[in-house]
């Protein structure tokens, strides 16, 4: 059994483009970006849709007012060459986006592909809340 431990997280660079995203994570909300031109959502949120190039995009809260959930698509537990082992994963959300993230607050040996997970937030060194995922209880 290898329990996940909190580890030091780098501070994201806050820009005008991502400021609303990190203001929302501070309130426990995960924002995606919806493109009104192609109808698709993307992550990490950008003003210009990476799928079609349109700038007709708007914020979309994942989980629609509840807790954002997803499913582990792939993962890797990093043990060697890191001070604190952690799980790097791709999580697919029902909103149609895939997030590169960490799986936390669990036994890292129990992580499985297809596992249901829910968003949680961990502070960076300066206190910016970073979205991560933990198994659904
Ligand atoms: Zn688009």
pLDDT higher than 80, residue 94: yes
Average pLDDT over residues 98-108: 97
Residue 65 binned pLDDT confidence (cut-offs 50, 70, 90): confident
Residues with Cβ–ion distance below 5 A, ligand 1: 35, 37-38, 49, 51-52, 54
Q: How far is the CA of 129 from the centre of ligand 1 (A)?
A: 27
- 33 alpha carbon – ligand 1 mean position (Å): 10
Residue 15 to residue 117: CA distance in whole angstroms:
28
Q: pLDDT digit string (tens) for 107-132?
A: 999 999 999 999 999 999 999 999 99
Distance from the first to the final alpha carbon of the chain: 18
What is the residue extent of each domain of the chain? Answer: 19-135
Predicted confidence (pLDDT) at residue 105 exceeds the cutoff of 80: yes
CA 22 to each of CA 10, 25, 45, 47: distance values in angstroms, whole numbers, following the listed order: 14, 5, 11, 15
Average pLDDT over residues 10-14: 96
The structural architecture, per CATH, of the domain 19-135 is: Beta Barrel (2.40)
C-alpha 57 – ligand 1 centre gap (Å) = 8
């Amino acid at each position: 059994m290898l329990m996940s431990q909190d580890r030091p997280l780098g501070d994201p660079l806050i820009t005008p483009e991502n400021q609303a995203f990190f203001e929302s994570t501070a309130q426990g909300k995960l924002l995606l970006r919806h493109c009104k031109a192609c109808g698709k959502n993307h992550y990490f949120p950008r003003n210009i849709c990476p799928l079609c190039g349109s700038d007709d995009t708007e914020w979309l809260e994942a989980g629609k007012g509840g807790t954002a959930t997803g499913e582990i698509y792939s993962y890797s537990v990093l043990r060697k060459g890191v001070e604190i082992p952690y799980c790097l994963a791709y999580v697919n959300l029902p909103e149609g986006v895939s997030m590169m993230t960490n799986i936390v607050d669990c036994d890292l040996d129990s992580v499985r592909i297809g596992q249901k997970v829910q968003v949680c937030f961990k502070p960076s060194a300066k206190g910016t809340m970073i979205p991560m995922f933990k198994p659904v209880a």
